[in-house]
A and B are shown apart, each in its own frame.
Chain A
Amino acid sequence: MTAAATPATPAPRVGAAPSGRVFGHLLRNEAVLAWRSGAAVFWSAFLPVAGLVVIGSIPGNRTPQDGLGGRSVLDTYLPILMMFSLTISVVTLMPPTLAIYREKGILRRLSTTPVPPSRLLGAQAAIYAGLGVLVSVVLLVVAVTAYDVHLPDQLAGFAVALVLVGAATTGLGLVVAALAPSARVANALSTLLFFPLMFFAGLWIPRASMPSGLRTVSDWTPLGAGVRAIQATVDGHWPPLSSLLVLAGWAVVCGVVAARTFRWE
């Protein structure tokens, strides 16, 4: 019954394709899918940039105001818009996408191949966080070139702050993806999370206008610490160490929780 005429068995092919090339392929693929979904492009890229242009094109928004701690509306909202882009991208849009990948067995299918599903998770986090960071840089460039915002003297400090904000928000997004049992729950959770996060970033009441108690709470939240750090670099200082530590703390804690609780199926 067995095929006795089978040619000599070929030498076993063990191992996998070069992992750098595979990751590159996964990255490109996730980028294409994010682009096709449209939501990421609109909410995370178009909206914040459009918001900056609207704020910046009103001359009054470019003059310093006492109520905003001596900053202009534009200076105040520049870091908030950066937080908005990153949060929408990695906290609001990424977790439901990952939950769908789990729900539809895409991660499971991947675990039958030589490529571990964690590689896909990494590619997706890189794409969504990368989008938020890229938009933040674009916001800065537009603000500096079109609206005479002061380029941070501490560009390195700005970069460090931005990367840490990216890491902290990505960690939060991964925790949501890990804990949500379904795409629907992930959707609800991440939308629910968006409002307090952005509130403490100062989207509705800028941090400079917050009562001091509220501002202290904000200092401990990921986006509050993020705005504080980036605002400092735009003001011309190195980010306060405490804000960087808060960001790093969120990134590490969320990373550990997500790694411990993530279910692949």
Chain B
Amino acid sequence: MTPTPPVIEIDHLSKSYGAKRAVVDVSLSVEDGEIFGILGPNGSGKTTTVECVSGLRRRDGGSVRVLGADPQTDRAAVRAQVGVQLQEAELPAKLTVREALTLYASFYPDPADWRELVDVLGLGPSLGTRFGRLSGGQQQRLSIALALVGNPRIAILDELTTGLDPAARRETWDLVESVRDRGVTVVLVTHFMQEAERLCDRLAVIDAGRVVAIDTPGGLVERLDTRQELRFRPSRPFDDALLTVLDPVDELVRRGAEVHVTGTGDVLGAVVSTLARAGIVAEGLRVQQPSLDDAFLAMVGHEPASRPAAPQTTQEQS
């Protein structure tokens, strides 16, 4: 079986708004059937990148291929096969859920059965409800339904869970997985680490309009200089030198009854076996492992969501 070609190929994409360089240099490819995350701080160029993919914006440079077609010159092909859930796009307040679904289904040559979508997304009870009276979570579900009603091969979901409460966010994550289970390739734009870690097969980390890294969530974490921290209460006192002489151990700090040991490599194995040989039991042993958050911070150098406004910050266009 020959490998299927990537469904999206972006090569040296660039896009500026006046003097603001929203996307400086982005290259990435998305494989058929995966959930691909685009992760970055606010204003890093994530949205602009996917807007160039869906044909909403004209790029300044580079090339974009979506299912082999250029979204700029072959709009029809891209629009029929790519469903887009936009950040902050509403519907007329007095349009009901059923009307929105039938209307949008009529736009496509080969639409999905919207009744089935309604079941999957749990919109059944609100079919007759007007958009303006739906809760934020329900509006988001409808938005996903509209992105899928054209029976797309690719769904682009932009900041899907922003503004949702934690319960609704978790439900939405399940929905995204069910979308992928339908055979739809998902491109997920997000600035939530937890969301990316939970859902994405692969991730591109974008900062200031450039790709910083592309890898699996696990791969991104492994790239970190994997410092681990162990915390435990020794069953009896011991001399610091017992552990600090060990190769993998960098530092030992005592915090009251607790001992904190940081190190790299197999620090856990070395510490535990040495203590055992000395007849010491490490009570309440905990290992702090680096998370995607730490990996992200190490790559981007600042917090994901709350980035201070710097003069050179490119503004995310909505």
Which A residues contact B (CB, under 8 angstroms)?
Answer: 1-4, 6-7, 9-10, 12-17, 21-22, 25-26, 29, 32-33, 36-37, 100-101, 104-106, 108-109, 111-115
Interface pair B84/A13, CB less than 8 Å apart: no
19 CB contacts below 8 A, A to B, read: A1-B34, A1-B201, A2-B31, A3-B33, A9-B4, A9-B153, A13-B109, A13-B151, A14-B77, A16-B79, A17-B106, A17-B109, A25-B103, A32-B99, A33-B92, A104-B89, A113-B79, A114-B80, A114-B107
| 8 Å CB contact of B86 from A1, A6, A14, A109 | A109
| 8 Å CB contact of B103 from A26, A37, A100 | A26
Which B residues contact A (CB, under 8 angstroms)?
Answer: 1, 3-4, 31-34, 54-56, 67-69, 76-77, 79-84, 86, 88-92, 94-95, 99, 102-104, 106-111, 146, 150-151, 153, 183, 201-202, 216, 318
| 8 Å CB contact of A29 from B54, B99, B108 | B99
A4, A32, A108: which has the most chain B beta carbons within 10 Å? A108
A112 and B201 in contact, given A2-B34, A13-B109 (Cβ under 8 angstroms): no
Question: Closest residue to A10 on the B side, CB-wise?
Answer: B153
CA distance A51 to B76 in the complex (A): 49
Question: Closest residue to B89 on the A side, CB-wise?
Answer: A105
Q: Is the interface of B mostly helix, strand, loop or mixed?
A: loop
Interface pair A9/B107, CB less than 8 Å apart: no
Interface pair A101/B92, CB less than 8 Å apart: yes
Neighbouring B residues of A32 by C-beta, 8 Å? 99
Interface pair B94/A33, CB less than 8 Å apart: yes
| 8 Å CB contact of B201 from A2, A105, A113 | A2
CA distance A114 to B106 in the complex (A): 10
| 8 Å CB contact of B89 from A14, A100, A108, A114 | A108
Interface pair B95/A13, CB less than 8 Å apart: no
A115 and B109 in contact, given A16-B80, A37-B94, A106-B92 (Cβ under 8 angstroms): no
CA distance A16 to B34 in the complex (A): 26
Interface pair B95/A16, CB less than 8 Å apart: no
| 8 Å CB contact of A111 from B34, B56, B77, B183 | B56
Neighbouring A residues of B94 by C-beta, 8 Å? 33, 36-37
Question: Closest residue to B7 on the A side, CB-wise?
Answer: A9
Closest-CB distance, A231 to chain B (whole angstroms):
38
CA distance A1 to B200 in the complex (A): 10
Closest-CB distance, A181 to chain B (whole angstroms):
15
Question: Closest residue to B105 on the A side, CB-wise?
Answer: A17
Interface pair A1/B202, CB less than 8 Å apart: yes
